Structure 1
Amino acid sequence: MAEQGKLVVVLGTTACGKSGLGVELALRFGGEIVSADSRQVYRGLDLGTGKVTAEETKGVPHYLLDVVSPNESYSVAQFQQDAYAAIDGILARGKPPFLVGGTGLYVRAVAEGYTFQEARPDPALRARLEGQDAAALYALFQQKTGLTLSESERHNRQRLIRTLEKVYHGDSLTEAPRHPRYQVLQLGMTYPREVLNQRIEERLWRRIDDGMIEEVANLRANGATDAFLEGLGLEYRHILWYLQGKYESVDQLCEELGRAIRQFAKRQVSWFKRDKDVLWLDTGGDFLAQATQAVERFLQG
């Protein structure tokens, strides 16, 4: 059996600096980056998703950014196949791949090698699921699998329906066979609650100043549906509500959105902390040096 290639994962909460760390590590080791973010796959979703700019990449190749248009569906199974193709291509070029992002299901699908199967047609089940809203579907998903999903995934009705069809036919993600494709080193980033909340607040206002409200308005003007934007959650949902007049001011928007992002960060911590194989970096110290040493040992080992 051929030796598995090595994959470095950089995961963690929102606003913790994952993208920057991924770039610095890729520069040091001559690597390339595959994004693991369920919203950054969409074209035009830049400020609201924290997508790295061309300048911020520092010349490091990035994959799975801007691969689908707004309103299009993009499943975790599709992400897995696209990520495998990108990672295998990086390895074939003799470079180390870095999977960087905070969408937990995307990360695990690749790192743990989830097996996805096509759900068999079941008109009766589909009709029953179609009659429920996203909140009810997500509650049913959690009841059946014990898993949590990202903010955007839990509000995407059609994706939830497709996932539940798989679960009901015995294709549960928690029980499906897993076939890890790579040897994996997982590096985790987060900050103490108070520090992380401050970073979230500062980043939110910076993005507002940079034009995040205008980004959402332009997406709507160019054909992105309100249902699509609301399904993305967080920045896109709350700014949509602001544009619809549900918030009286930018201050109220930022207060409500900031609260939602902080709650999302707590859920991310809970998701990632369940994985005992993650090496959590000391963000109060020289975490870049710590990460560099860990990657060096991993790649040489």
Structure 2
Amino acid sequence: MTAETGVHKPNLLVLVGPTAVGKTKLSIELAKSFSCEIISGDSMQVYRGMDIGTAKITKQEMQGVPHHLIDELEPDDAFSVARFQAACAELVPAISSRGHLPFIVGGTGLYVESVCYEYQFAEASADEEFRAEQQRFADEHGPEALHDRLAAIDPDSAGRLHPNDLRRIIRALEIHHLTGQTLSSQLKGQNKVSPYNLCLIGLTMDRQLLYNRIEARIDLMLEQGLVKEVESLLDKGYSRSLVSLQGLGYKEIAEHLLDGLPLEEAVIKLKRDTRHFAKRQLSWFRHMKDIHWFDVTDGEKFPEQLAEIHAIIAGKFGIPLEYNYKH
């Protein structure tokens, strides 16, 4: 119940931060403490058969905590912010009705923010001919040239999209083509009032330490069989042009397998692109309001930080602090 409106808002806990910062481990601890069900706020973990390259949580790591929007789609079924919003609109009340706390965990900034503040986007269905034209332009002149085309009309969107993210670049161009509005202007025009009783926790850390963790994670992915995972997807007939296979790790390894890019060069490219992605994630979340930020660079401070996080969540949702240590 809010004092301003007298309307009851559903509780929603959210944990954000860049890739490799440690969201998964903390999310399980918090979920067990506050009886949460986790909704994945990651645009790639929704796909089946894409486990290693997405650093997907395992059943063992879940420790019995219910997870949603993981392993729900085949790689050729395109996921989008609209689908994520629709899924969360069903999941949040369903989880609440079971007496559990809905908990979004992830690093896909637009997806998470669109749910937190119930974004409404201008209607822009599709123009397949326009999309094909942009794809042909990218094929002929390179993805950077198409990225430059977006930067000329919507520098903010171009700044948060990697030049290789052709699907989202084309969509941003298409939105401008169909509506006359840029995607960034639509985002800026949103009413940042949440339909939820919202508690946002953010994790960050020293940039170099984060980059070291990213590179170590990629090395582990390779040891776990990332190349075989991508090869298996391609062997099943999935096209490299799919939204799923344009994801970090999949695009670079596909270049190795299909174009003969030496594996060492593909890995260097993947590490570089993932560092850039983490930087864009941090930039996105820094512009979100009401996030309680925790710098987890110093692991020795984490128990103290964890106690503070518990207190913030308990205070926000009116949960007795001693309760969440009994689980």
- TM-score interval, normalised by the smaller of the two chains: 0.7 to 0.9
Number of the residue aligned with 1:298: 316
Greater alpha carbon shift after TM alignment, 198-207 vs 112-121: 112-121
Task: Name the counterpart of 1:280.
Answer: 293
Q: 1:155 aligns with which of 135, 153, 166?
A: 166
Which of 70, 82, 95 does residue 77 from structure 1 map onto? 82
Query: Aligned equivalents of 2:104 and 2:232: distance in 1?
Result: 30
- Trace 1:24-173 onto structure 2 (pairs within 5 A): 24-119=29-124, 132-133=137-138, 135=144, 138-139=147-148, 143-144=153-154, 146-147=156-157, 149=160, 154-156=165-167, 159-160=171-172, 163-165=175-177, 167-168=179-180, 172-173=186-187
Q: TM-score, normalised by structure 1?
A: 0.88
Structure exhibiting the larger radius of gyration computed from Cα positions: 2
- The one-letter amino acid paired with 2:84 is F
Q: How does 1:159-198 map to 2 (within 5 A)?
A: 159-160=171-172, 163-165=175-177, 167-168=179-180, 172-176=186-190, 180-198=194-212
Identical aligned residues as a percent: 34
Matched positions, count = 300
Q: TM-score, normalised by structure 2?
A: 0.81
Give the deviation of 1:71 after TM superposition. 1.9
Gaps of 5+ in 1: none
Q: Deviations over 1:12-54 (max 9, x none)?
A: 0010111221111010011110001111111111111111000
Compute the displacement of 1:224 (Å).
1.3
* Residue matched to 1:259: 272
Change (3 A) 1:166 1:205: same
Q: Mean Cα displacement is larger for which, 265-274 or 96-105?
A: 265-274
| Residues 257/139 of structure 1: CA separation in 2 closer, same or farther (3 Å cut) | same
- Spell out, residue by residue over 1:209-246, the C-alpha distance to the aligned partner (whole angstroms, 9 max, x if none): 11111111111111211212785232111111111244
Contact (CA 8 Å) 1:152, 1:232: kept in 2 or not?
A: no
Which residue in the other structure is 1:203 paired with? 217
| Contact 2:16/2:202 (<8 A) preserved | yes
Q: Is the 8 A contact 1:12 1:272 kept in 2?
A: yes
Is 1:239 equivalent to 2:230 in the alignment? no
The 1:161–1:153 alpha-carbon spacing in structure 2 relative to 1, beyond 3 Å, is farther
Residue by residue over 1:147-170, the C-alpha shift from the partner in whole angstroms, topping out at 9 and shown as x without a partner, is: 455659932166445544565268
Q: Note closer, same or farther for the CA distance 1:128–1:255 as it changes in structure 2 (3 Å cut).
A: closer
Task: Give 3-state SS (helix, strand or coil) of 1:79's partner.
Answer: helix
Q: Is the 8 A contact 1:34 1:99 kept in 2?
A: yes
Q: Which amino acid aligns with 1:240?
A: A
| Distance in 2 of aligned mates of 1:32 and 1:78 | 19
Equivalents in 2 of 1:96, 1:68: separation in Å?
Answer: 24
**Residue 124 (structure 1) shift:** 8.4
Q: Which runs of 5+ in 2 are unaligned?
A: 1-5, 320-327
Write the distance in 2 (CA, Å) between the matches of 1:244 and 1:208: 18
1:219 counterpart SS class: helix
> 2:75–2:244: 8 Å Cα contact kept in structure 1?
no
**Superposed CA offset, 1:179-200 (max 9, x none):** 6321211111121011111111
Using the alignment, how far apart are the partners of 2:270 and 2:134 within structure 1? 29
CA 1:269–1:216: 2 relative to 1, 3 Å? same
* Structure 2 residue matching 1:72: 3-state secondary structure: coil
Q: Give SS of 1:9's match.
A: strand
The alpha-carbon distance between structure 1 residues 223 and 127, as it changes in their structure 2 partners (threshold 3 A), is closer
Is this contact kept in 2: 1:153–1:159, CA < 8 A? no
